Amino acid sequence: MSVPSSLHQSSVFSQFYALMKPRVIQLIVFCALIGMVLAVPGLPSWGELQLMLLACVGIWLVAGAAAAFNCIVEKGIDAKMKRTAWRPTAKGELSDVQTLLFSAVLCAAGSALLYVWVNPLTMWLTFATFVGYAVVYTVILKPLTPQNIVIGGASGAMPPVLGWAAMTGDVGPEALILFLIIFLWTPPHFWALALYRVEDYRKSGLPMLPVTHGNAFTRLQILLYTLVLFAACLMPFIYRMSSWLYLVAAVVLSIGFFVYAFRLWRNYSDELARKTFRFSLIHLSVLFAALLLDHYLL
């Protein structure tokens, strides 16, 4: 019995879509959108809304290109890890040539859109983020040092800067504060995942912190990072980017993250590490949503 062509096309489409790591990109675009919104005083005009939409699409395309390129480089590693073994490149469903071409088309389309309809600065910053993640982090840092996620986290922290640049044509201190928050959030977020996935990382040969320095050291680093992150999360209020609504959310969320990290440090379990990882996602999403609400309501 032959497979209907429509079903086959849908399957191929879903494979290429999976290469873009859609859940990760959703958070990237959301953080970029926050940067755009905060860069515009008051309610945006129709023209500004159109610019935001174009910038989001461009950033989404280039971020998807970086994710697809990452899948090529790490297909061997992905195949060894339960968390990533399902990816089309790891399963051999898509070839390197297909994936590379897909990544190149996405990157070219997104870069052209940003350059022509947004501004050149945003295009170059977005392209630099692509290089930082796909090449510097994935190819060089990740297999080289257990501090890979710390140094490479700079690329992941760029979305609000891209959003700010899209609306203003420059990079202001407000954008750098948002960058700092994500930069400091990334290590405890990722190391919580690495703790309960440590055997996967050990099999892959990647020098992740729990593999090279052990469980206890990693838990201590998570705890210390949540303290520094707490201070960074107060900076939007201190710099007068936001008011009390954001401050309350930042304090509650940061205390919550610290409590999870403290419990993890004192009494480790895989289940608690999973809960810490999940809460870290809530922390960043709600924190930036609070910034958005604060910007419009107060």
Looking at 170, 190, 210, the residue that finishes a domain is: 170
HSE of 101 in the Cβ direction (CA atoms, 13 Å)?
Answer: 5
pTM comes to: 0.89
Domain count, the chain: 2
CATH number at 276 reads 1.20.120
Contact 130, 67 (CB under 8 A): no
Q: Looking at the predicted structure, is the pLDDT value of residue 292 above 80? A: yes
Query: Would you say residue 5 lies in a domain?
Result: no
Mean pLDDT within 191-215: 90
> What share of the chain has pLDDT > 90, as a percent?
66
Q: Looking at the predicted structure, is the pLDDT value of residue 3 above 50? A: no
Q: Looking at the predicted structure, is the pLDDT value of residue 8 above 50? A: no
CA angle 147, 150, 156 (to 5 degrees): 140
Domain of residue 238 covers: 172-298
The predicted-structure confidence for 162-177, as pLDDT tens digits, reads as follows 999 999 999 999 999 9
Q: What is the pLDDT of residue 141?
A: 77
Structure tokens at 172: 């202001």
The predicted-structure confidence for 217-256, as pLDDT tens digits, reads as follows 999 999 999 999 999 999 999 999 999 999 999 999 999 9
**Is the domain of 232 the same as that of 85?**
no
Q: What is the pLDDT of residue 6?
A: 42
Mention every residue, 6+ apart, whose C-beta is less than 8 A from residue 98. Answer: none
Q: What is the pLDDT of residue 5?
A: 42
Q: Looking at the predicted structure, is the pLDDT value of residue 155 above 50? A: yes
* C-alpha 181, offset from chain centre: 12
CA-CA-CA-CA dihedral for 271, 79, 21, 171, to nearest 10: 90
Query: Would you say residue 36 lies in a domain?
Result: yes
